[in-house]
Amino acid sequence: QSTNFLIHCLTALSQKGYARGVERTILGAGPVL
């Protein structure tokens, strides 16, 4: 159920366009990690 909750949050955030910033942050930090 926790996974479904995370998906629900990501969907709500993506609708606000916030997910784009998160993706950029993750993709930007990916090579560093």
pLDDT digits (tens, 9 = 90+) for 1-33: 788 988 887 788 777 777 677 788 888 877 765
The verdict on residue 30 lying in a domain is no
Euclidean distance between CA atoms 19 and 17, whole angstroms: 6
**How many domains are there within the chain?**
1
Q: In this predicted structure, what is the pLDDT of residue 27?
A: 83
Euclidean distance between CA atoms 3 and 15, whole angstroms: 18
The verdict on residue 2 lying in a domain is yes
The verdict on residue 14 lying in a domain is yes
The verdict on residue 11 lying in a domain is yes
The verdict on residue 19 lying in a domain is yes
Euclidean distance between CA atoms 33 and 14, whole angstroms: 24
Domain that holds residue 1: 1-25
Q: In this predicted structure, what is the pLDDT of residue 33?
A: 59
The verdict on residue 32 lying in a domain is no
The pTM of the full predicted model, rounded to 2 decimals, is 0.39
